Amino acid sequence: MQTNTIKLHRVFKANPEKVYEAFLDPAAMCKWLPPNGFTGTVHEMDARVGGMYKMSFTNFGNGQSHSFGGEYLELVPGDRIVHTDRFDDPNLPGEMKTAITFKKVMMGTEVNIVQEGVPAVIPPEACYLGWQESLALLALLIEADIPG
């Protein structure tokens, strides 16, 4: 089965601990992870090595939903998250592996994401576009400087 690998890089104006937390907090994930036009629901979240998560994205325009989930393989606070991903849709077979690394840099945090095993039926450019939208939403969440 042919698959694709997606690689992303972004620098955020926030410390690594805050960025890391946004990848594991269910409410934060619902705010930033669904790309534009989608809402998100976290159905299960057990953020520990060996723990599972399950989430769904729903198209706000037509109500269609797709769900996915996986297992946490590595969790190093402020440094690294590795997890599997599997779509519930049988038309999107196989298991993906996503590795997210966080590195403190002068301006904040450098984040690198490598997602391997993306089903070939999903165009790589669609993955990049979706991730870019999600990461822009993440920046709005974690870079906000709210007094109080």
pLDDT tens digits, 76-135: 999 999 999 999 998 888 999 999 999 999 999 999 999 999 999 999 999 999 999 999
| HSE-CB of 138 using CA atoms within 13 angstroms | 25
User: Is residue 18's pLDDT more than 70?
Assistant: yes
Spatial strand order in the sheet of 65-76? 3-12, 108-119, 96-105, 80-87, 65-76, 52-59, 38-45
The answer to whether 29 touches 22, Cβ cutoff 8 Å, is: yes
> Taking phi first (over 0 means left), then psi (-120 to 50 degrees means alpha), and beta for anything else, what does residue 102 get?
beta
User: Is residue 75's pLDDT more than 70?
Assistant: yes
Place of tokens 């037509």: 62
> Model-level pTM?
0.94
